[in-house]
Amino acid sequence: MHRLTALLLLAAVAIFAGPVVAHDESAGMGFHTAQQQDFERASDKLIQLAEATPADKYSWRPAEGIRSVSENFMHVAQVNFALGAALGAAKAENTDNLEAITEKAKVVAELKRSIAYTKEAFEDVVGTDLDRELPFFNSKRSAWSILLIINGHAHEHLGQAIAYARSNGVVPPWSQ
């Protein structure tokens, strides 16, 4: 009886588990698509917060020596440009010293520009070997690890932007 139960359990697992996908380009493209969609969701929320935050709050900082609202958004933009280039995209123009930009309209525009640039960098790696090593500052990283870093960074600063917004009485638009 125990054998019959074990066999039925194995059969159920085999039926519901679905096919096993070997590591090939289609598996990498699935990872790529998931990473790209995750980046787009986090980036969309960053833009929503940047647009919802009043211009007079862009200089607010939680304490001395900590990035202001505008500096947080411009830090995200700066890193988007750097990590997109690390994936192999051509270096974007006018990306030096973005954290000096403090005017809301310019901050939002640069944030959007950096996100569009990074989305193009994502597209450039579609169907490529995500295990390949790429120059990454003073070391090398695989393309897939750079994709993970891009998303981790976007989410880290989205969380920071949410805390900044709520500290200033701004409710994130997607949670109203």
Q: What is the pLDDT of residue 10?
A: 40
Task: Kindly write down the DSSP assignment for every residue of 131-160, as one continuous string.
Answer: TSEEEETTEEEEHHHHHHHHHHHHHHHHHH
Q: What is the pLDDT of residue 12?
A: 42
Q: Which two tokens stand for residue 41?
A: 């969701």
Enter the pTM of the model: 0.81
> pLDDT 10s digit of each residue in the chain, 176 long?
555 444 344 444 444 444 444 444 444 458 888 888 999 999 999 999 999 999 999 999 999 999 999 999 999 999 999 999 999 899 999 998 898 999 999 999 999 999 999 999 988 887 788 889 998 989 999 998 999 999 999 999 999 999 999 999 999 999 98
Q: What is the pLDDT of residue 3?
A: 53
